[in-house]
Amino acid sequence: MGPLRLVGDVGGTNARFALVRGARGLPQMQRTLATTDHPDLASAVETYLESLHGFPERPVEAAVAIACAVQGDGLRMTNSRWQFSIEATRQRLGLRRLLMLNDWEAMAHAVPAFQPQDLLHLGGGAPDALAPCVLLGPGTGLGVSSLVRSRGGEWVAVAGEGGHATLAPGGPREADILRATWSEHRHVSAERLISGMGLENLYRAIARLDGVMPQPLTAAQVCERGLAGTDAQCAEAVDTFCSLLGSVAGNLALTLGARGGVYFGGGILGRFGEDYLLRRSPLRAAFEAKGRFAGYLERIPTFLIRAPQPALLGAAAALGE
């Protein structure tokens, strides 16, 4: 059976927790909590454990994927007010081991466990089983990671903060949108336009360029109106969002030689729907639009991750390792 372990996936909006039994177990007893309802990780975990209504056993180890860089003992989240000490949290929860992972590092750990039904193929050929993989996904922010093989043949998940790299336009209209965004933000990162706030920023920039007074729309409203075709600026915002995401993914695939595939996740793409992503979205075309290396990118497969709670699966895999 093995020891009982806790796994978590903490983003800027939600914190998800589950229990895992042993090194190969699947996450069970999943719960989702709002991060704003808790001052820190330990409080959220305690609330989760209390919600199990007298479950007789407490976890002895934990692995938590979190939406920030993991460096040293002190963690400060990028899109949340949470900040805490890893060691103090471990002691407060009575754990013999607490492993903290960047959330997209955990996603990378999940790739070897994906089954065919966990992925929607968005284009390209078959993955090279020995080549690096890239993972990225827009949610509250933009997460980026990679998966590479060591010289010993083992998979190594590599965390990074690629979402904060400077965003480049793919054409004149995107350059105009970036110029409009620069009027509000000194640095326009990929995350600034490819995330929840990115949809809102794109809509406002496009409305100003079109001479239309922007409405106070949320990302969900921009998405809904854009996909329904009821608002021209929202529709362009959704298309531009996918075009920019595809372009960033293509840059990463070229940089890392990611012939093992590019995997898209995050909470936003799932809202777009498979029909849009497969038939109308400019994501794949922008991914391949790299001049002389278009042919190279045409062969690299891109996937939408459909597996439920893949970061929890990755956290469990990392803890097992």
Query: Which positions make up the binding site?
Result: 8-13
The tokens describing 289, both together, are: 């639009």
For residue 62, what is the enclosing H or E element? strand 61-66
Q: Name 59's Cβ contacts closer than 8 Å, sequence gap at least 6.
A: 3, 4, 5, 6, 19, 95
Rounded Cα distance between 241 and 217, Å, is 16
CB 10 within 8 A of CB 65: yes
The DSSP element (H or E) to which 50 belongs, if any, is helix 41-50
Contacts (Cβ under 8 Å, ≥6 apart) of 198: 138, 142, 191, 192, 219, 241
Cβ contact 106:65 at 8 Å: yes
Task: Specify binding-site residues for ATP.
Answer: 8-13
Burial classification of residue 115, based on how many CB atoms lie within 10 Å of its CB (0-12 exposed, 13-18 middle, 19 or more buried)? exposed
Q: What is the DSSP letter of 189?
A: B
**Tokens in use for 72?**
């040293």
Strands 61-66 and 28-34: unpaired
63, 69, 74, 80: CA torsion to nearest 10? -90
Cα–Cα distance between 209 and 218 in angstroms, integer? 19
